[in-house]
Amino acid sequence: MKKPQKSKSFKYNLETVLKVREIRQKQQEERLSKAQKHLTVEQKKEMEIKDFQSEKFTELRGILDTGKTITDFSEIMRRKSHLDVVKEQVVAQEKKRVEAEEQRNDERKKLVAANQKKQVMETDKDKKKVAWRRVMAREDIKRLDDMTQSRFARKPKDL
């Protein structure tokens, strides 16, 4: 680690690295936001398909529960096969939703890692700034001591 040097203002030597990490963190936040929006869309689609499925099941039960004699068995079979297709759509949509959740969780983990990397750099910057302030305080004390000594040496001694 390089010792802090005397200067008029504090300059962090890894400022560009810190900026890059901040940029990467912001990019990761955007990716997480996109993943969250994608998950929301997939959840909405899943709910719509499930609502449609439950509506069609209700219609089929209504037909079967009327107590009437079933005259058109082919109509019931068509509805049943349609419900099977809708069930496959529900299963496929659930898989898409699970994949979207996994993607969001991965993006969240990456964001946490980016935050940690940035935090490490900020902590290092803070420590170096504290060390720089100590060096500057020592330099000020030295300068004041030198001024005091030179004034004391200039004064004629009265004995």
pTM of full prediction above 0.95: no
pLDDT band at 3 (very low <50, low <70, confident <90, very high): low
Distance CA 107, CA 125 (A): 27
- In this prediction, residue 6 has a pLDDT band, given cuts at 50, 70 and 90, of low
State how far the alpha carbon of 33 is from the alpha carbons of 27, 36, 37, 103, in Å: 10, 5, 6, 11
pLDDT value at 83 more than 60:
yes
Q: Answer yes or no: is pLDDT of 36 > 90.
A: yes
